[in-house]
């Protein structure tokens, strides 16, 4: 946040000074203004995520993001088994997310809701899953994608986002 | 490409000119690690009878004191594998601690490593990375598989920490016991067109993500098309498991099936589905020997039976039959002197703590009669663990592409014409 600070002499002092200047020099003295800027850390939020989620974290966070509640230990263990047991981690992540999105109770907006306000849908998804707002270019891009292609459904968009590189990091 | 033929350079669809990989002995290698610590006394020297009747010739009966502890198994139905190839009876694991992971690490990298750590990937590139990187053209992950009977550190053996190799060249790792007990179910259904649209959206997201994503953060990578095939395969096998196919197979009774056999069954499924050029599968149930000698002997028999079924699967798979070399070897042996644990049959258990006996192993190389010398028995001390990787490289024709100094072993040329 930019701060502005004016450093000048008081009004009485100013008047006295002006009279003095007019009387004796007929010159105008410049007022002194000092502009300062508070320290602001500018983040590119995408770049702040440098730590890879563990398998447990990935499942637990995805479940929480999709269902709005924590996953129970047994379900977590069941899903961890294949996750640990296959070398292509992204493949297993995709399988997990596709299953989550098809479970009753998954918090996925309807197509009607998405189409009614694409901008809100995109923004909400970015905030919910990636913990940030989309930048202008991202917003523009996905507005165009979703508006131009009526076959894209909310679960497809969620699936893409929840299996993106950014979602694997925190 | 016909094995053994010298192939000409060709132009890929990208327009890039590739010199085809050198002459191959065969187009497929299956390496079965008869692991868990198998002592030559029980395997090659038959101190308690022929515990490996599917692999070894001879009908020596099992010692009477432990015979009651043996599970009933179907009798061998085909030729003993020993007669279908070359058996190095006195192979050696010459250096390094005789630990399971260290032994696996050595036979998969072709290097001894005295300082191997359970918490680290191999220092040296694995056979999978060497194969994928130095074959020409480079091979897809779908062509190389590492199938292990356990988790722990073993998933990390599908690629190394070597900066010139790594996840980009790793194998598809699978641990069947976990896969068949729980796969994510009832997914949203997306056809190919929708999957491509999802992939395009994901690609845009990935492109705008500024963190330096390292390949191994997500393990190895399959292509989009191959991922789809593998996903279908995994779901199919899970369904098979749910329907009981992993509880009743090979004519075995359910209560006699062990994890080694489940692991090899899954390897069979991979062979049938993908016909990989390089597949490594291990077994380790014999390691019960730390506290149960008779169980160890019994599990040697089960592992021997599993190897026979693996061979049958290879020979019944179009594309791999008569074009596959099967290599079988333990990672290390076991001590000469027992520990103090006695099983119910009065036998003392055995550990593996780097004595000379624990370095004595065997290696069987079986394959088509025009490629592998048949029924050859090498009884002298010939060959060691580090020779397996160069041998696989020779079979698959990329040995000359591996940078000099990378490997310390040699091609086991004695086994081939």
ipTM summary value? 0.85
pLDDT band at B10 (very low <50, low <70, confident <90, very high): very low
Specify whether domain A48-168 bears CATH 1.10.260.
no
B99: nearest Cα among B306, B276, B398, B358: B358
On whether the CB atoms of residues B93 and B81 are closer than 8 A, the answer is no
CB pairs under 8 A between A and B: 151
What pLDDT score was predicted for residue A19?
Answer: 47
Mean pLDDT of chain B: 92
Compute the Cα dihedral for A134, A50, B157, A97 and give only its sign: negative
Residue A137 CB-density burial (10 A; 0-12 exposed, 13-18 middle, 19+ buried): exposed
Inspect the interface and report whether the beta carbons of B231 and A81 lie closer than 8 Å.
no
3 state SS for A65-105:
HHHCCCCCHHHHHHHHHHHHCECEHHHHHHHHHHHHHCCCC
pLDDT higher than 70, residue B15 = no
Using CA atoms, how far residue B274 sits from B24, B29, B343, in Å, is: 20, 13, 42
Chain A interface disruption, residue of B187, B196, B200, B262, most A CBs within 10 A = B187
CA distance A9 to chain B (A): 49
Chain A interface disruption, residue of B176, B218, B228, most A CBs within 10 A = B218
Give the chain B residue whose CA is nearest to the CA of A48.
B211
pLDDT band at B29 (very low <50, low <70, confident <90, very high): very high
Strands of B28-34's sheet in order across = B172-174, B144-147, B278-283, B28-34, B324-329, B360-366, B85-92, B376-384
**pLDDT tens for residues B300-337?**
999 999 999 999 999 999 999 999 999 999 999 999 99
Inspect the interface and report whether the beta carbons of A102 and B201 lie closer than 8 Å.
no
Give the chain A residue whose CA is nearest to the CA of B200.
A160
Inspect the interface and report whether the beta carbons of B182 and A141 lie closer than 8 Å.
no
**pLDDT tens for residues B279-297?**
999 999 999 999 999 999 9
CB contacts of A164 in chain B (<8 Å) are 202, 205-206, 209
On the CB side of B69, CA atoms within 13 Å amount to 20
Using CA atoms, how far residue A150 sits from A71, B30, B383, B402, in Å, is: 33, 48, 64, 51
CB contacts of B231 in chain A (<8 Å) are 91, 94-95
Distance CA B112, CA B104 (A): 10
Q: Spell out the alpha helix ranges (H) of A10-153.
A: 11-24, 45-48, 55-67, 73-84, 89-101, 111-116, 118-130, 136-148
Per-residue burial over B193-231, b if 16 or more Cβ lie within 10 Å, else e, is: ebbebbeebbebbeebbebeeeebbbbbbbeeebbeebb
On whether the CB atoms of residues A136 and A168 are closer than 8 A, the answer is no
Distance CA B116, CA B148 (A): 19
pLDDT higher than 70, residue A48 = yes
Inspect the interface and report whether the beta carbons of A82 and B198 lie closer than 8 Å.
no
On whether the CB atoms of residues B116 and B101 are closer than 8 A, the answer is yes
Plot region of B150 (φ>0 → left; ψ -120 to 50 → alpha; else → beta): beta
Give the 3-state secondary structure of residue B80: coil
Selected residue with higher pLDDT from A22 and B345: B345
Judge if the upstream peptide bond of residue B201 is cis by omega within 30 degrees of 0: no
Inspect the interface and report whether the beta carbons of B211 and A169 lie closer than 8 Å.
yes
pLDDT higher than 90, residue A44 = no
Chain A interface disruption, residue of B205, B222, B263, most A CBs within 10 A = B205
Q: What percent of chain B has pLDDT over 70?
A: 93
Inspect the interface and report whether the beta carbons of B197 and A142 lie closer than 8 Å.
no
Strands B172-174 and B10-11: unpaired
Give kind and range of the element (H or E) at residue B32: strand B28-34
| Residue among A44, A86, A94 whose CB faces B173 most closely | A86
| Residue among A49, A84, A161 whose CB faces B155 most closely | A84
Q: What percent of chain B has pLDDT over 90?
A: 82
Give the chain A residue whose CA is nearest to the CA of B150.
A85
CB contacts of B176 in chain A (<8 Å) are 85
**pLDDT tens for residues B156-193?**
999 999 999 999 999 999 999 998 887 788 888 999 99
On whether the CB atoms of residues A46 and A85 are closer than 8 A, the answer is no
E-assigned strand segments in B46-193: 85-92, 144-147, 172-174
Q: Which of A9-13, A53-57, B12-16 has the highest mean pLDDT?
A: A53-57
Distance CA A21, CA A33 (A): 19
How much is the average pLDDT of B246-260? Answer: 92
CATH classification (class only), B10-175+278-415: alpha beta
pLDDT band at B210 (very low <50, low <70, confident <90, very high): confident
Inspect the interface and report whether the beta carbons of B201 and A160 lie closer than 8 Å.
yes
pLDDT band at A1 (very low <50, low <70, confident <90, very high): very low
Distance CA B388, CA B406 (A): 14
Q: Spell out the alpha helix ranges (H) of B47-123.
A: 100-109
pLDDT band at B35 (very low <50, low <70, confident <90, very high): very high
Share of chain B residues as helix, strand and coil, in percent rounded to the nearest 5: 35, 15, 50
E-assigned strand segments in B198-350: 278-283, 324-329
What pLDDT score was predicted for residue B186?
Answer: 82
Using CA atoms, how far residue B348 sits from A76, A93, B336, B351, in Å, is: 41, 46, 11, 10
Mean pLDDT of chain A: 82
Using CA atoms, how far residue B66 sits from B285, B293, B357, in Å, is: 18, 9, 22
**pLDDT tens for residues B59-82?**
999 999 999 999 999 988 789 999
What pLDDT score was predicted for residue A9?
Answer: 38
What pLDDT score was predicted for residue B2?
Answer: 41
**pLDDT tens for residues B105-144?**
999 999 999 888 898 999 999 999 999 999 988 889 999 9
Question: Whole-structure pTM over 0.90, yes or no?
Answer: no
Residue B318 CB-density burial (10 A; 0-12 exposed, 13-18 middle, 19+ buried): exposed
What pLDDT score was predicted for residue B322?
Answer: 96
How much is the average pLDDT of A39-55? Answer: 69
CA distance A112 to chain B (A): 18
**Beta-carbon contacts of residue B295 (< 8 Å; ≥ 6 apart):** B69, B288, B289, B343
Give the chain B residue whose CA is nearest to the CA of A165.
B206
pLDDT higher than 70, residue B230 = yes
What pLDDT score was predicted for residue B136?
Answer: 85
What pLDDT score was predicted for residue B14?
Answer: 33
Give the chain B residue whose CA is nearest to the CA of A102.
B188
On whether the CB atoms of residues B95 and B110 are closer than 8 A, the answer is no
Distance CA B41, CA B47 (A): 6
């Amino acid at each position: 946040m930019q701060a502005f600070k004016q450093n000048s002499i008081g009004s009485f002092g100013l008047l006295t000074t002006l009279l003095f200047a007019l009387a004796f020099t007929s010159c105008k003295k410049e007022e002194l203004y000092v502009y300062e800027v508070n320290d602001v850390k500018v983040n590119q939020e995408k770049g702040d995520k440098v730590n890879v989620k563990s398998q447990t974290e990935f499942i637990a966070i995805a479940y929480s993001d999709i269902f709005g509640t924590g996953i129970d230990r047994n379900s977590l263990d069941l899903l961890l088994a294949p996750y640990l047991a296959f070398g292509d981690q992204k493949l297993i992540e995709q399988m997990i997310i596709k299953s989550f999105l098809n479970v009753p109770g998954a918090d996925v907006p309807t197509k009607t809701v998405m189409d009614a306000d694409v901008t809100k849908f995109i923004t909400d998804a970015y905030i919910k899953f990636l913990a940030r707002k989309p930048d202008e270019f991202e917003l523009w891009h996905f507005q165009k994608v979703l508006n131009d292609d009526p076959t894209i459904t909310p679960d497809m968009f969620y699936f893409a986002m929840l299996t993106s590189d950014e979602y694997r990091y925190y | 490409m016909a094995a053994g033929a010298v192939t000409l350079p060709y132009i890929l669809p990208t327009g890039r000119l590739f010199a085809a990989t050198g002459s191959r002995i065969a187009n497929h290698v299956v390496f079965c690690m008869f692991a868990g610590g198998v002592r030559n006394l029980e395997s090659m020297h038959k101190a308690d009878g022929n515990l490996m009747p599917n692999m070894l010739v001879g009908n020596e009966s099992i010692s009477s004191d432990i015979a009651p502890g043996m599970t009933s198994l179907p009798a061998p139905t085909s030729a003993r594998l020993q007669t279908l190839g070359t058996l190095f009876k006195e192979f050696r694991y010459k250096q390094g601690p005789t630990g399971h992971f260290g032994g696996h690490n050595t036979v998969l990298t072709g290097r001894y490593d005295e300082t191997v750590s359970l918490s680290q990937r191999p220092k040296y590139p694995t056979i999978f990375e060497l194969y994928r990187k130095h074959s020409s053209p480079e091979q897809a992950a779908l062509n190389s598989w590492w199938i292990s009977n356990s988790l722990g550190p073993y998933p990390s053996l599908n690629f190394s920490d070597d900066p010139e190799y790594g996840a980009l060249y790793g194998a598809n790792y699978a641990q069947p016991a976990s896969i068949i007990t729980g796969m994510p179910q009832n997914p949203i259904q997306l056809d190919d067109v929708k999957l491509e649209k999802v992939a395009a959206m994901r690609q845009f997201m990935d492109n705008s993500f500024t963190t330096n994503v390292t390949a191994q953060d997500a393990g190895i990578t399959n292509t989009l098309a191959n991922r789809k095939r593998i996903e279908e395969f995994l779901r199919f096998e899970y369904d098979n498991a749910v329907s009981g196919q992993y509880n009743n197979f090979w004519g075995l009774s359910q209560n006699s099936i062990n994890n080694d056999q489940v692991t090899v069954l899954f390897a069979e499924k991979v062979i049938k589905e993908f016909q990989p050029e390089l597949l490594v599968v291990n077994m380790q149930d014999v390691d019960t020997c730390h506290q149960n000698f008779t169980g160890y002997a019994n599990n040697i028999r089960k592992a021997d039976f599993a190897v026979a079924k693996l061979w049958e699967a290879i020979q019944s798979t179009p594309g791999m039959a008569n074009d596959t070399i099967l290599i079988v070897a333990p990672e290390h042996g076991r001590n000469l002197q027992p520990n103090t644990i006695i099983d119910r049959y009065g036998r003392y258990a055995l550990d593996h703590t780097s004595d000379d006996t624990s370095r004595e192993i065997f290696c069987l190389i079986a394959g088509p009669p025009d490629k592998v010398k048949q029924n050859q028995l090498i009884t002298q001390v010939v060959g060691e663990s580090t020779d397996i990787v160069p041998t696989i490289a020779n079979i698959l024709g990329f040995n000359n592409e591996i940078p000099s100094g990378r490997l310390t072993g040699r091609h086991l040329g004695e086994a081939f014409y």
